[in-house]
Amino acid sequence: MDFNELPAHVWPRNSRREEDGVVTVAGVPLTELAEEYGTPLYVFDEDDFRSRCRDMARAFGGPEHVHYASKAFITKRIVKWVNEEGLCLDVASLNEAKVALAAGFPPARMTAHGNNKEPEYLELCVDNEIAHVVLDNEGELAQLNEIARAAGRVQPVMIRVKPGVDAHTHEFIATSHEDQKFGISLATGAAFDAAKAALESENLQLVGLHCHVGSSVFNAEGFKLAAERVLSLYKRIHTELGVALKELDLGGGFGIPYMEYEEALDVAKLAQDLLAAVERTAHELDIEPPFVLVEPGRSLVGASAVTVYSVGTVKDVETGKAELPIRRYLSVDGGMSDNIRPALYESEYDVRVANRFTDGEPVDSRVVGFHCESGDILVNERKLPGDITTGDLLTFATTGAYQYMMASRYNGALRPAVVSVRNGQANLMLRRETVDDLLALEVN
């Protein structure tokens, strides 16, 4: 493996290593960004994100079919990009909704999710005329109807159903995913009852059903099976209640490669397969094919960003294990506070030195953070060039999704700055936290 390469399917589309060995993103050297904004630093390639939005929109038949799942990464600037690209926007909490509205996103293109929506959230949806509320449970259905009645409005809704498909197993076991908190069961008939209740609620308008089979899914089969099952409920609703639901929301979850050896998912092909399966199933069931929506998060924003760290302590540790007597520990100035994913999911990342070429012999290494916890590991076991040293900029690719959003303040960590780059220009998106931000919460 050539450690100086930047695997194109994992790194932002506009990143390259220049002749002097320095990595640039959209023409901006990461060395300059580290100098100006400090490390750790998240760097977002704006054109990468926008181009992925366009690819996804093209694959599914237009931007109105694609809802960016903003939980993956939301700031006002990202919301503005999503708006400019014509996509719709999913929020999954009250405060995500508030950020989106603060950025001026049109509520008519927003969908609100959540399995435990507080009254203030439901009221905000109704008051701002958010296009869809995805109902999670029967109690929420009744509550939203009341809130909409009080406001003198009819709120369009979808119902989240559990299709009973666990897309992470090979056989897509029918019952495996009943035992989780989201949605209403299809198998028990509860989803049909909820649809009936929604149709009978004067201040709700049922427009469709929603399902989500999981995250980091690479295989179209799970999505197809879920679509088929949910469509069988469209049929039942049509037959027994005389209503043809117009929309079908298949959720997000398209997997992306994090490591060089992983392959990218062909989204265009997946979309084609999925849309064809919906058409075919609808035809077989003799119902109108619904308008299909998807809610990708990671596959739009994951590969758009990298995280730049500075290397501090370098330590060769005697492991006491015969098979690996010495392991090199490379400590960086972030860790589990800005990327919990390795600790939480054993996630792996492509890691390169960004400030120069490296030519050291591969050494058994572990990349760790500065936190007081031995599980604070970013790369568990990897051969990394032996010349990596204090002051180098170790850079992780594919850090756009579920990293900053899951960041913590453990050990007084300050959330890093986030900068976006485009055409040789850098623009600060979120400033780095300061210790005053920590102290600002103190009451005395």
Q: Does 132 bind ligand LLP (CB under 6 A)?
A: no
b/e for 430-440, b at 16 or more Cβ within 10 A?
A: bebbeeeeeee
How far apart (Å, rounded) are the C-alpha atoms in residues 170 and 172? 6
Q: Does 208 bind ligand LLP (CB under 6 A)?
A: no
How far apart (Å, rounded) are the C-alpha atoms in residues 290 and 279? 8
End-to-end Cα, the chain, rounded Å = 55
Q: Does 257 bind ligand LLP (CB under 6 A)?
A: no
Peptide bond preceding 40: is omega within 30 degrees of 0, i.e. cis?
Answer: yes
> Binding mask 335-354 vs ligand LLP (x if CB under 6 A, - otherwise)?
------x---x---------
Q: In this chain, which stretch among 250-258, 263-271, 358-366, 427-435 interacts with ligand LLP, using CB under 6 A?
A: 250-258
Question: Using CB atoms within 10 A of its CB, is residue 125 exposed (0-12), middle (13-18) or buried (19+)?
Answer: buried
Site for ligand LLP (CB under 6 A): which residue of 42, 49, 402, 404? 402
Q: Does the annotation place 253 within a ligand binding site?
A: yes
Q: Does the annotation place 140 within a ligand binding site?
A: no
Q: How far is the CB of 6 from ligand LLP (least distance, A)?
A: 22
Q: How far is the CB of 174 from ligand LLP (least distance, A)?
A: 20
Count of residues that bind ligand LLP according to CB under 6 A: 18
Q: Does 298 bind ligand LLP (CB under 6 A)?
A: yes
Q: Does 251 bind ligand LLP (CB under 6 A)?
A: yes
Q: How far is the CB of 339 from ligand LLP (least distance, A)?
A: 10
Give the active site residue among 53, 88, 125, 372.
Answer: 372
Q: Does 72 bind ligand LLP (CB under 6 A)?
A: yes
Q: Which is nearer to ligand LLP, 37 or 349 (CB)?
A: 349
How far apart (Å, rounded) are the C-alpha atoms in residues 198 and 195? 5
Q: Does the annotation place 298 within a ligand binding site?
A: yes
Contact 131, 105 (CB under 8 A): no
How far apart (Å, rounded) are the C-alpha atoms in residues 278 and 283? 8
Q: Does 133 bind ligand LLP (CB under 6 A)?
A: no
Alpha helices, DSSP H, located in 336-419 = 341-345
Q: Which is nearer to ligand LLP, 23 or 300 (CB)?
A: 300
Q: Does 89 bind ligand LLP (CB under 6 A)?
A: no
Q: Does the annotation place 297 within a ligand binding site?
A: yes
Token pair for residue 203? 């201040």
Contact 230, 209 (CB under 8 A): yes
Q: Does 222 bind ligand LLP (CB under 6 A)?
A: no
How far apart (Å, rounded) are the C-alpha atoms in residues 123 and 148? 8
Q: Does 215 bind ligand LLP (CB under 6 A)?
A: yes
Q: Judging by DSSP bridges, how do beta strands 305-318 and 291-293 pair with one another? A: unpaired
Contact 94, 124 (CB under 8 A): yes
Secondary structure element (H or E) that encloses residue 194, with its range: helix 190-200
Is 236 strand, coil or helix?
Answer: helix
Residues written for the chain: 444
Q: Does 113 bind ligand LLP (CB under 6 A)?
A: yes
Alpha helices, DSSP H, located in 61-171 = 76-84, 94-102, 119-127, 138-151
Site for ligand LLP (CB under 6 A): which residue of 252, 334, 342, 400? 252
Q: How far is the CB of 72 from ligand LLP (least distance, A)?
A: 5
Q: Which is nearer to ligand LLP, 254 or 404 (CB)?
A: 254
Residues forming beta bridges with residue 352, ordered by sequence position: 395
Q: Which residue is nearest to ligand LLP (CB)?
A: 297
Q: Does 299 bind ligand LLP (CB under 6 A)?
A: yes
Q: Is 372 one of the annotated active-site residues of the chain?
A: yes
Alpha-carbon Rg for the chain, nearest whole angstrom, is 24
Q: What part of residues 3-62 is at the interface with ligand LLP (CB under 6 A)?
A: none
Contact 147, 126 (CB under 8 A): yes
Q: Does 296 bind ligand LLP (CB under 6 A)?
A: yes
- Give the footprint of ligand LLP on this chain (CB under 6 A): 69, 72, 113, 212, 215, 251-254, 295-299, 341, 345, 401-402
Going by the annotation, the residues of the binding site for pyridoxal 5'-phosphate are 253, 295-298, 402
Which residue numbers are catalytic?
372
Going by the annotation, the residues of the binding site for substrate are 298, 341, 345, 373, 402
